[in-house]
Chains A and B, each alone.
Chain A
Amino acid sequence: MSERKIRVVVAKPGLDGHDRGAKIIARALRDAGMEVIYTGLHQTPEQIVATVVQEDADAVGLSILSGAHMTLVPKIVALLDEQGAGDVLVTVGGTIPADDIPELERLGVAAVFTPGAPTDEIVEFLRGNVAEPVS
């Protein structure tokens, strides 16, 4: 029986170039045995959702350090729903003020990882929360 690897899109929405965190996460997830697709920088919500759909991803991690999370995340979540990918696990990482986390969770974000979050915590979260693939 072959176990399907967890497929994760690591995405950088918005215009900023702070990709240190996204690249560290991408590498840590890859080292943990997941299939990682890193979008690269400056992605629009449309581009990110297209990648998620095309790659048939189980999860998408959005790295945002520009302060534009309350504009970008709702758009991405809505587009995923529209494209029939509403079951994809969405996580957010970056400089996200604590006050914004409940609203992001209400929108359907499964977890928000703020500065200082260890990578193994993120690996474990994905392993524990990605829906069991249908065999």
Chain B
Amino acid sequence: MAIEPGPGRRAHRWLAEEYQRENERDVPFETLSGHPVAPLYTPDDLSGHDPERDEGFPGSFPYTRGVYPSMYRGRLWTMRQFAGFGTVEETNERFRYLLEHGQTGLSCAFDMPTLMGLDSDHSRSLGEVGVEGVALDTVDDMLTLFDGIPLDEVTVSMTINAPAAIVLAFYAVAAEERGFDPARLGGTIQTDILKEYIAQKEWCFPIEPAMRLVTDMIEWCSSEMPRWHPISISGYHIREAGATAQQELAFTLKDGLTYVERAVERGLDVDEFAPRLSFFFNAQIDFFEEVAKYRAARRIWARELRETFGAENPRSLLMRTHCQTAGVSLTAQQPLVNIVRTTIEALAGVLGGTQSLHTNSFDEALALPTEEAVRIALRTQQVIAHESGVANTVDPLGGSYFVEKLTDEMEAAAYDYFARIDELGGMVRAIEASFPQREIADAAFAHQSALERGDRIMVGVNAFEVGDDEPTEIHRPDPAAERRQRERLAATMARRDGVAAATALAGLAEAAAADRNLMPPLLDCARARVSEGEIVAALQGVFGTYSETPVY
């Protein structure tokens, strides 16, 4: 009697005798990031994988299957659409519209001058005021931006980095002036400056003083705004700049670990601030690769926080994340097809266990989204949440041979990058040596080459084209917004007590030179109606500015 072959030999035999007799399509079988994918995954692929150790249970170490025990059965993810354009009045209206349509949190986009620390009346701001986001110059703008919105009930996310400390001070002072206790405010400010030098490229100061500002915010928030997330460690922009999923994972987590290191060096107890660190990842179109990325991220973060930093509070170990579908996956050609892409990406975010999600609008390869396009994007999330059934059980993909294997491989790829970065002396030194920048530029170029060779298909771009597309109605920035915003700024400047403003600014410069925490003097500046541009210029007087050596 023949001996029944073991499972390993059965899979082997299946491959040799069954699978290889068939023809394969002539395409590269690999993920979007170029990671090879096998024809079939079986228990053999998980020989070194221990479900108890590597997966655990939702809400338990190492959190691969989710940060909370009940996940979406307890509470759905927060549907948080990013919005902001024109002046604060217009964006305030859009915020109210989104809340009326069932959105559960706010997320504010600022214009380029605000992100670069320039006032709306600066010569370099011309043509960009209120175009890519909302223009904000002083605490008066912050008051109007959130007018009528209950800041103690709605959580607010603000996407700003180099001048984050200033904008946080504006927000805290605006809330205080409206009678809300800053200690009760919930929300997030992005603050992740390392990924700016790596990928998004909006900076005000050299790296070291910028890192000091981040640490000042973490320190100040842990005592004064304990419900606030002072940083959202972001892979989104790293990925958009062309990184692979593995690079996004590795560089983002290494950035995060670097912030933890700095805060610990400052003398903070890791369990005091780590529960308030949050993350922001991209949700790209390669469904399984993305799911594996989020699962690996949770596991690595939990392990590093516990083992490297000795965190004891279980909440310090949780990698809570926001996700956004991939802007770069959207096409200007046949834009309605983007709704389909966004749906797949959103599903990856949800099945990857995200805590909050932004779905892009189908017209975003053309311009900022119209109201209709934004509504469809929000409806996409609502269909996933309420119709698809995927929220009925926790981590439904857990235990899939393919997903677990891919998760393990994703983790190994991240640790390989960690080792290369450590060899360079850590993330700050690696950025100075242009290491992550070069890795990303190479990956972006490889992706573009694959598209041009036809090795990778983008529907409507290099296959299935239709010639001229029907014109799509697009959002047009209001050309008068720039003038209105300059008038708002001029009015604040005219109203304020000039002596108080100058005193606050001098106090800030002094604290900057003396190495004191900059949040208290920034609050004084906010109260005195000192503008963002004035504050940045004063700090640049002490810290200097930054310019990069581009690599391509």
- Contact residues in B for A40 (Cβ distance below 8 Å): 547-550
Q: Mark A12-53, 1 if CB is under 8 A from B, else 0.
A: 001111011001101110000000001011101000000000
Bound Cα distance from A1 to B366, whole angstroms: 46
B242 within 8 A of A: yes
Bound Cα distance from A20 to B474, whole angstroms: 24
Q: Given A14-B128, A15-B128, A24-B445, decide whether A95 and B548 contact each other with a Cβ distance below 8 A.
A: no
Find the A residue at minimum CB distance from B550: A40
- Contact residues in A for B448 (Cβ distance below 8 Å): 24, 28, 119
Q: Do B332 and A116 touch (CB < 8 A)?
A: yes
- Contact residues in B for A14 (Cβ distance below 8 Å): 112, 127-128
Q: Do B552 and A38 touch (CB < 8 A)?
A: yes
A70 within 8 A of B: yes
Of A19, A38, A66, A120, chain B has the most CB atoms within 10 Å of the CB of A19
A67 within 8 A of B: yes
Partner of A66, one of B131, B200, B452: B131
Partner of A17, one of B124, B127, B200: B200
- Contact residues in B for A16 (Cβ distance below 8 Å): 112, 132, 202
Closest Cβ of chain B: how far from A22's Cβ, in Å?
8
Q: Given A23-B441, A66-B131, A97-B474, decide whether A15 and B331 contact each other with a Cβ distance below 8 A.
A: no
Main secondary structure on B side of the interface with A: loop
Main secondary structure on A side of the interface with B: loop
Residues of chain B in range 434-491 having any CB-CB distance to chain A below 8 Å: 441, 444-445, 448, 451-452, 458, 461-462, 471, 474, 477
Bound Cα distance from A40 to B548, whole angstroms: 8
Q: Do B127 and A72 touch (CB < 8 A)?
A: yes
Closest Cβ of chain A: how far from B512's Cβ, in Å?
23
Partner of A118, one of B132, B200, B201, B452: B452
Q: Do B471 and A98 touch (CB < 8 A)?
A: yes
Known: A68-B127, A118-B451. 4 other contacts (CB 8 A): A14-B128, A38-B550, A72-B127, A118-B462
Q: List 21 A-B contacts (CB under 8 A).
A: A14-B127, A20-B242, A23-B550, A38-B550, A41-B201, A42-B116, A44-B124, A67-B132, A67-B477, A68-B112, A68-B131, A70-B127, A71-B126, A72-B127, A95-B366, A97-B366, A97-B367, A98-B471, A115-B332, A116-B332, A116-B458
Residues of A at the B interface (CB closer than 8 Å) are: 14-17, 19-20, 23-24, 26-28, 38, 40-42, 44, 66-68, 70-72, 95, 97-98, 114-116, 118-120
Residues of B at the A interface (CB closer than 8 Å) are: 112-113, 115-116, 118, 124-128, 131-132, 196, 199-202, 240-242, 328, 331-333, 365-368, 441, 444-445, 448, 451-452, 458, 461-462, 471, 474, 477, 547-550, 552
Closest 6 CB pairs of A and B: A71-B127, A17-B201, A23-B552, A15-B112, A68-B127, A67-B131
